[in-house]
Amino acid sequence: MTSISEIPSLDLDLFTDDVLTDPFPVYERIRNAGPVVYLPRYQSYAMGRYADVRAGLADWESFSSARGIGLNDLANEATQGMIIATDPPEHDRLRDVLASRLSPKAIRQLKADIERRADELVAPLVRQGAFDAVNDLARAFPISIVLDLIGLPQNGRDKVLGWADAAFSASGPPGPRTDAAFPLLEDQLAYLSSIERDQLTPGSMGRAIYDAAAAGQIRQESCVPLMSAYVTAGLDTTINAISNAVWYFANNPEQWDLVRHDPTLIPSALNEVLRIESPVQFFCRVATCEVDVDGLTLAAGSRVMMLYASANRDERKWENPTRFDVRRNPVDHLAFGYGMHGCAGQGLARLEGHSILAALARRVERFEVGAPVRRINQLIRGLDALPTTVRPVAETV
């Protein structure tokens, strides 16, 4: 085995405005430098190649989540016990609570309702002709769906989105951005703590969490972190996926024509949007023992950024990775993570994405977009505004 000192070290800052706006050249440098690189600024390592990220995510015994998935101690402490920051058996207990609610069977039961909601949202926007694809389309949709499923009271819902955005950003490296995000994460936890079980809609996912605690399946103090995980994970991720889809289809009209004329391409198209513009850029793991990463030895205790977004553009894995191709069908992308922590809500996210794309495909012939405004967040990538005009298909005018 090679020695630890042979892991290449790169003096990169991944969190400047410029890099957060366009991280892909930096990811390419990381991939080209080696299977794992050391980033001295964060006293952490990073993996950017598809094969290594996937293998690392699959090996939870060597790459633990229980010491936190972020880059600063405060967030790693605050998220302790959240599903995303646990290992088995605690992880499995928490994951089981809502597993049946998000199973393929349960998602099929939501299909008609979510498709109806997508139609009701899209039809007036298309009639209107001009809208903001982020605020009016991408945000409006998951907010109502996810918060209804969790069963949150109407009161306070308007703040949830800002909190969810901050809850991701709070896991960045120590610094002003993290300092600004952290109090909002605390506000989110305080708000969720203030909600009594009986204020949650009967039959909702939120109620199921409290019922699991009452039945002794999970500890009472796990309820708020579990609610927080689903609220946080279920919003900006899907929001970014939907607005990125509009942006890519506006810039690649021939790809939109393919989808419009053959809507069976919609699942492949959504996978391609998630691959090329992965909403979650990275989460960390901590090595529990000395681990071999493609010939380089990582010491026990090393914190490693798993760069999903880089893996999804790794030229070792994908042919012409910067080409947006709705026929590629990249079913094995890592935008939902992989392995034990692989996204618990991906069935729901896919249903939301497919329903919106199908509703648009029935009505929109062309998207035209103005300059996108990027939302700067340390963990997730997406837009803040996307002025959009649409040319409707003839029969829907």
Task: Please report, as ranges, the residues that interact with ligand HEM according to CB under 6 A.
Answer: 57, 65, 69, 83-84, 95, 146, 229-230, 233-234, 237-238, 241, 274, 279-280, 283, 308, 335-337, 341, 343-345, 348-349
**Least separation, in Å, of the C-beta of 369 and ligand HEM?**
20
| Residue (178 or 278) nearer to ligand HEM, CB | 278
**Least separation, in Å, of the C-beta of 189 and ligand HEM?**
16
Rounded Cα–Cα distance for residues 388 and 129 (Å): 8
| Residue (185 or 274) nearer to ligand HEM, CB | 274
The residue type of 101 is: R
Output the six-digit token pair for 358.
Answer: 């199908």
- Mention every residue, 6+ apart, whose C-beta is less than 8 A from residue 73: none
Rounded Cα–Cα distance for residues 111 and 245 (Å): 20
| Residue (84 or 287) nearer to ligand HEM, CB | 84
| Residue (229 or 386) nearer to ligand HEM, CB | 229
Q: How many CB atoms lie within 10 A of CB 191?
A: 20
Task: Catalogue the E-assigned strands of the chain.
Answer: 37-39, 44-47, 63-64, 130-132, 282-287, 291-293, 296-298, 303-307, 364-369, 373-375, 382-385, 387-392
Q: Are strands 37-39 and 44-47 parallel, antiparallel or unpaired?
A: antiparallel
Q: With beta carbons less than 8 A apart as the criterion, state whether 298 and 290 touch.
A: yes
**Least separation, in Å, of the C-beta of 142 and ligand HEM?**
7
| Residue (340 or 376) nearer to ligand HEM, CB | 340
Handedness of CA 340, 308, 383, 184 (dihedral sign): positive
Q: Taking CB positions, which residue lies at the least distance from ligand HEM?
A: 345
Rounded to 10°, the helix 157-169/140-150 angle is 100
**Least separation, in Å, of the C-beta of 338 and ligand HEM?**
7
- Mention every residue, 6+ apart, whose C-beta is less than 8 A from residue 47: 35, 36, 53, 56, 293, 304, 305, 306, 307, 311
**Least separation, in Å, of the C-beta of 65 and ligand HEM?**
6
| Residue (192 or 297) nearer to ligand HEM, CB | 192
**Least separation, in Å, of the C-beta of 16 and ligand HEM?**
23
| Residue (7 or 307) nearer to ligand HEM, CB | 307
**Least separation, in Å, of the C-beta of 227 and ligand HEM?**
10
